[in-house]
Structure 1
């Protein structure tokens, strides 16, 4: 079951770093490329990565907040 969504874009080192950390902690998440959807691009723009819970509530952006890991594991 997916507990989180990671919004990012190709070539974003912060996005890649957050994805690696989430995988290392065994977090089930879906990766979404903001550049693949005009609505996502308009919503997030350059403000990536953004991690949300499954309901779409923003948990953190930019860098992963360690306290968030417990909420999405």
Structure 2
């Protein structure tokens, strides 16, 4: 699987976001975290669906997802 930089949209205190981080750490992809609380547009987009992971092409996967679903998302979008 190719290395891919992903964005994790999250906010502090979100236990589901913590779960998503644990899954991301099990992949070989680098990722950056973006706290949606600092951008009203992101709050409007993701406020009810975080954690959300976005790839370099704007494709997203919303919670809930398993490690297998995350790996599938990464694999499909690195082809």
Relative to the length of structure 1, the TM-score reads 0.79
Paired residues, number? 72
Q: Which has the larger radius of gyration?
A: 2
Structure 2: runs of 5+ lacking an equivalent: none
Cα offset for 1:7? 0.6
Superimposed CA distance per residue, residues 13-69 of structure 1 (whole angstroms, 9 cap, x where no aligned partner):
1101111211122321111111111111111122110111112211x2112242331
Query: Which structure 1 residue ranges, 4+ long, deviate > 4 Å from structure 2?
Result: none
Residue of structure 2 in register with 1:51 after alignment: 53
C-alpha distance in structure 1 between counterparts of 2:48 and 2:73, whole Å: 25
Other-structure match for 1:34: 36
Unmatched runs of 5 consecutive residues or more in structure 1:
none
